[in-house]
Structure 1
């Protein structure tokens, strides 16, 4: 480009010099004509014609010689400029030829390197895969967009961290982004929760991390390198995950893949991923060393995220499944409030829905709260339409409709066949009760007669009806259950009808 600019400037200088020479020649000619006319006029008035003629001839010769000298200088300058122009053009042609030879050499080297890398990748393909998909392998050479390779690995530790068997392990994501020359341009080591899933989940997470990193760097052409055949088949659409969460993660990776102009997938042997495997192991060793150091007493105190107090690490509880850590005191208060409000306690971390277990909560809960927690878990396992409590105050055991004892199954002649529809026995105290009225068994009396004679079977029923009347609570016309409209529509579903359907199904 610089040679072309110099050549254009040289052409412009030659044109200016030619114009200047023409202009000077015209001016000299005009001056010469004016002087000649003046001499002729002077000679006409002079008396000595011979001397005048001689003088005029001398003057004319002098004026004619001057332009000759000037014309020779202009011609010399033009010859010099022409020679410079010829040399500049020759230099420009030589430079163009050198650039063409250099570009051809660079292309030859790039093609040779590409062929060597592709040959190594083909040699690493297993025989079975080559026999099945050998005709489909290709590696196009795009000189304008070099191909980057994404190496990734998700790895988890199966070992136990710390002295308590409920402490979780650790998991990491490792990835390396290499250019077409094999140099590492980006390296990432990222710890994750070990409870996120198995190998497939960790591999997909690592791949998604690598694709997002490549997009962040503005890379448009990549090659995904993996040694996991299951993931390879999922990415090619040969298989489809059965779990919804895993399927959503694979769909996210496929969406990221579509953002690249060129994206290839290559299945290789494990040894070709030694570098990212080393990165993953180093990260796991670091996480394990830190966790072991904490449990060994090198960091004896830890800050609780709820009370913000520094607490001894032996008084810190690690929630199973999510690894969130809180002190025993805060965990106890959290579980106590949830249990007293009739709810199953979950992890206190904001946004975490991991349910607490009885076994994991023994370390900070009292026996009384543990019993309530067992009861709440039991209640949560029984559908609302099948829950039933023993009507005897000293028992009050929780049962499901499928668990209560049917007396007709026992060898007893005390009860008739008509009693079988509503008569049941508690699985704990063996007391007989009516499953429709939910009261101790009313012998020789139908449910309608009992309700007519005892409108308030329990002393608290009258108080409840008064409260319902003040609060404008409504009662189902079929089963008399009281319902408060907090939100939703005005439609009510009778629980008695649901229970009767279940009873008929059990009786059949």
Structure 2
């Protein structure tokens, strides 16, 4: 049987959609507080995706309503999600779909509502849920399933795009949007949409996270939207940050992906490459117990001891090697001599070199977050109190 032609993309137009297959519906409803000129307004946006399970024909809709009463009614996330689902089911019925599966976020309570495993307490949510139940009875087959956040990301973006389309206005022939960070009126072309949270920030404000001391110290750069904690993606930021800041961001992202106990840094001062010990162990072919700490840098090729962070000392203990002439002449020994003369210390957990900037001697390593006494190296307790007798002020 030949499949029917794809139905129109615009909701409301008449269409014939022969229902011989099960269709998949993804929906997302959002209510966002947006700054439009000098006014803060609530905007409702929805994204819908209807897919033919037989030939993967996909139809998408993005709609927004700048209606304060509606937006206030749908302000609760569950209400916005159910409203979008209602739009999607009505759309499918208008297209003559008879068999449908609709998907809810795996971490959302909506799936529990529509499968009657949970009952909402809020009246608006209850009313919307009843409409969903009525619409389900109009299909020959209607099934609710859970979907991962990745699968629903496309309709999430459609909903955000719908909201963004309502934040613009024209003055003459020029279109403007308000930046929610600096409140300036800027062209939509001069805004950057942050991946993940989809906040639209002007290019000038996007540069701020990279001019702060935080990124220079290696901390994660986050979206400058007020109270947003979404990490910026290094690859997206090359237009705002210099190469050094991008390198630091990539390093911090890599550190986050490796558990603290598995982080290993190459002891070569000119390398300091970060690696996962689990990956390094795979390349250790010698099963001699005395060489169980032997590692080889995946960047510069240096063979080194994981325990004492010096070049590998075959047939010697760590203490014996540090007294040998070959070590005393090595770059590692010269660097350690510099560290001592400058009053620097190494983190007891990850061996990263740390400088004390003055004040309290209770330190937190910027690389592994280990908390310890800068004077003697003793670790802090779980309540973040020092376990040693050293003075916190170091006096």
> TM-score, normalization: structure 2?
0.51
- Aligned-partner Cα distance in 2 for 1:476–1:354: 29
- Aligned-partner Cα distance in 1 for 2:46–2:228: 23
- 2:29 counterpart residue number: none
- Aligned-partner Cα distance in 1 for 2:300–2:198: 41
Question: Is the partner of 1:346 in helix, strand or coil?
Answer: coil
- 2:108 counterpart residue number: 245
Shift of 1:248: 9.3
Structure with more helix by fraction = 1
Counting only pairs closer than 5 Å after superposition, residues 98-137 of structure 1 correspond to structure 2 as: none
- Structure 2 stretches of 5 or more lacking a match? 1-43, 50-60, 93-101, 140-158, 346-354, 364-370, 389-395
**2:179 maps to 1:304:** yes
Shift of 1:244: 3.2
- 2:302 counterpart residue number: 431
**2:243 maps to 1:376:** no
**2:326 maps to 1:460:** no
- 1:188 counterpart residue number: 70
Report the CA distance shift for 1:447/1:269 in structure 2 as closer, same or farther (over 3 A). closer
Contact kept? 1:155, 1:172, Cα under 8 Å: yes
Indicate the larger mover: 459-468 or 426-435. 459-468
**2:228 maps to 1:349:** no
Shift of 1:246: 3.3
Shift of 1:344: 1.7
1:73-130 Cα shifts (integer Å, max 9, x gaps): xxxxxxxxxxxxxxxxxxxxxxxxxxxxxxxxxxxxxxxxxxxxxxxxxxxxxxxxxx
**2:47 maps to 1:156:** yes
Question: What RMSD, in angstroms, separates the aligned Cα atoms of the two structures?
Answer: 5.7
Shift of 1:377: 1.0
- 1:488 counterpart residue number: 384
Counting only pairs closer than 5 Å after superposition, residues 56-205 of structure 1 correspond to structure 2 as: 155-156=46-47, 172=64, 188=70, 202-204=80-82
- Aligned-partner Cα distance in 1 for 2:173–2:137: 37
Structure with more strand by fraction = 2
- Aligned-partner Cα distance in 2 for 1:264–1:349: 36
Report the CA distance shift for 1:170/1:358 in structure 2 as closer, same or farther (over 3 A). farther
- 2:135 counterpart residue number: 268
Question: Is the partner of 1:254 in helix, strand or coil?
Answer: coil
Number of positions where the alignment pairs a residue of Structure 1 with one of Structure 2: 274
- 1:404 counterpart residue number: 280
- 1:255 counterpart residue number: 121
Contact kept? 2:281, 2:295, Cα under 8 Å: yes
- Aligned-partner Cα distance in 2 for 1:258–1:315: 39
Shift of 1:416: 8.0
- Aligned-partner Cα distance in 2 for 1:308–1:154: 22
Residue 199 of structure 2, aligned match among 324, 328, 332: 324
Report the CA distance shift for 1:188/1:416 in structure 2 as closer, same or farther (over 3 A). closer
- 1:502 counterpart residue number: none
Residue 339 of structure 1, aligned match among 215, 218, 239: 215
Report the CA distance shift for 1:204/1:432 in structure 2 as closer, same or farther (over 3 A). same
1:452-474 Cα shifts (integer Å, max 9, x gaps): 77899512145135969985459
Question: Is the partner of 1:376 in helix, strand or coil?
Answer: helix
Question: Is the partner of 2:300 in helix, strand or coil?
Answer: coil
Q: Tell which has more relative contact order, 1 or 2 (C-alpha 8 A, sep 6+).
A: 2
Question: Is the partner of 1:370 in helix, strand or coil?
Answer: helix
